Amino acid sequence: MKCFLLIGSALLSMMPVAQASADNSMRILALGDSYTIGESVAVESRWPLQLVDALSRKEVKASAEIIAATGWTTLNLERAVESAPLNIPYDLVTLLIGVNDQFQGKSANSYVNNFKRLLQSSIQYAGGDANKVVVLSIPDYGITPFARRYNPTRISRELDQFNAINKELSLQLGAYYVDITPISREAINDVALLANDGLHPSAKMYKQWVDKALPVVLTALKK
């Protein structure tokens, strides 16, 4: 099922309910951009849905609700979440956002303020428990074929700066942090980690994200 949000003149797929909630299942809210909505991969290959599958293999019943769209900045996500019909509290909230802030030339100071508000909101969506929030670092698209038309070195440097910000804020506020950026950089040697568009992760890379995040998620769900 899909709901839609109109931002300016762009009609964006905002909130696919990725998997129907089951009684007594853990409810996951996944917030982000193209990396969370799974641009250029099949629906079942989106990382939040792969996470649900991985949890099921650990005998943990879960469902995922996604609020994300390709091209969203921190401000886009904030506005979308504010207007979304959320069923609070969630058992787990994941947050991965910032690549489009960098791509659009937003300042680090702007990112600090916007990301902090989103993280604080994420904690509230998790019932006020920061231990129920998992932040993922921003992947480095500077190593992708897409980035060759820009400045790959600058992209990687600026994303490192943004990731230093989101990591510091996550630790300050008590959320879990999973650094998947090194995984994204492996795509320079393994093209199978990229989708056909030469920019976004493939299902294979998303699985590696899930493998790294799963122990943290299991710990958070048991808190």
The Cα 210–Cα 112 span in angstroms is: 26
Please tell me the predicted confidence (pLDDT) of residue 11: 29
Going from N- to C-terminal start, the domains of the chain cover 12-222
Q: For residue 2, is pLDDT > 50?
A: no
> Which is more confident, 98 or 18?
98
Q: Give me the torsion for CA of 135, 96, 83, 129, rounded to 10°.
A: 0
Q: Could you tell me the fold of the domain covering 12-222?
A: Rossmann fold (3.40.50)
Answer for the pair 140, 103: CB distance below 8 angstroms, yes or no: no
Overall average pLDDT of the 52-73 stretch: 98
Q: How confident is the model at residue 23 (pLDDT cuts 50, 70, 90)?
A: low
Rounded to two decimals, what is the model's pTM? 0.90
Sheet of 62-68: strand order equals 62-68, 26-32, 92-96, 133-136, 176-178
Please tell me the predicted confidence (pLDDT) of residue 209: 98
Share of the chain above pLDDT 90, in %: 89
Please tell me the predicted confidence (pLDDT) of residue 12: 37
Q: How confident is the model at residue 210 (pLDDT cuts 50, 70, 90)?
A: very high
Q: How confident is the model at residue 24 (pLDDT cuts 50, 70, 90)?
A: confident
